[in-house]
Amino acid sequence: MARRAKEMNSFSGYIEGTATAEYRRCVDQAVEAAKHQKEKVDPIYHGKIDALVDTYARKLADNMNRRFEIDARVPSVMVAGPANFPTGKKEKQNAAGNQNMEEWRQVQGILDKIKSTGMGGIRADHPHAVEQLEQKLKGLEQSQQTLKEVNAYYRKHKTLDGCTALSAAEIEKLKASMAQPWHLGDKPFASYVLSNNSAEIRRIRSRIAELKEYAETGFRGWEFVGGKAVANQEMNRLQLIFEGKPSAEERQILRRNGFKWAPSASAWQRQLNQQAIAAAGRIDFIRPLSGEHPRDLQPKAKQSPGRDETVR
Q: Does 259 reside within a domain?
A: yes
Q: Is the pTM of this model over 0.85?
A: no
Same domain assignment for residues 209 and 156: yes
Output the pLDDT for position 307: 41
121: in domain: no
| pLDDT value of residue 279 | 95
Would you call 231 helix, strand, or coil by DSSP? Answer: strand
In a domain, 124, yes or no: no
How many structural domains compose the chain? Answer: 3
Examine the domain organization and report whether 252 and 268 are in the same domain: yes
* pLDDT tens for the chain, residues 1 to 312: 888 888 777 777 878 888 899 999 999 999 999 999 998 887 778 888 999 999 999 999 999 999 999 988 888 777 777 777 788 888 898 888 899 899 999 999 999 999 888 776 666 656 677 888 898 899 999 999 999 999 999 999 999 999 999 999 999 999 998 988 888 788 999 898 999 999 999 999 998 887 787 766 678 899 999 999 999 877 788 999 999 999 999 999 999 999 999 988 899 999 888 889 999 999 999 999 999 999 999 876 444 444 443 333
- pLDDT at position 31 is 95
Show which of 51, 86, 116 is a domain's final residue: 116
**Do 137 and 81 fall within a single domain?**
no
CB 272 within 8 A of CB 237: yes
Cβ neighbours of 88 (radius 10 Å): 9
Residues 162, 200, single domain; the answer is yes
CA–CA separation, 68 vs 73, rounded Å? 9
In a domain, 122, yes or no: no
Q: Check whether residue 89 and residue 26 sit in a common domain.
A: yes
Instruction: Mark whether 55 and 92 lie in a shared domain.
Output: yes
How many other C-beta atoms are found inside a 10 Å radius of the C-beta of residue 268? 25
| pLDDT in the model for residue 218 | 75
- Is 258 within a domain? yes
Whether 265 is covered by a domain: the verdict is yes
Per-residue model confidence (pLDDT) at position 120: 65
* pLDDT the model gives residue 126: 63
pLDDT of residue 306: 43
Count Cα atoms within 13 angstroms, Cβ side, for 307. 17
- Structural domain including 187 reads 129-216
Residue 174 lies in a domain: yes
**104 and 136 in a common domain:** no
pLDDT of 310: 33
Q: Determine contact, residues 231/219, Cβ cutoff 8 Å.
A: yes
Same domain, 67 and 152: no
Note whether residue 123 is domain-resident. no
Q: Note whether 170 and 209 are same-domain residues.
A: yes
* Residue 226 sits in the same domain as residue 205: no
According to the model, what pLDDT value does residue 301 have?
A: 47
Residue 269: helix, strand or coil by DSSP?
A: strand
The residues that bridge with 52 in the sheet, in sequence order, are none
Q: Residue 169: what pLDDT?
A: 92
User: Which of 116, 144, 175 delimits the end of a domain?
Assistant: 116
Residue at which a domain ends, from 116, 145, 179: 116
Which residues are CB-neighbours of 6 under 8 A, at least 6 positions away? Answer: 12, 13, 14
- The SS3 call for residue 230 is strand
My answer on whether 206 and 230 are in the same domain is: no
In terms of domains, do 173 and 233 share one?
A: no
What are the strands of the beta sheet with 237-242, ordered from one edge?
222-224, 227-232, 237-242, 267-271, 260-262
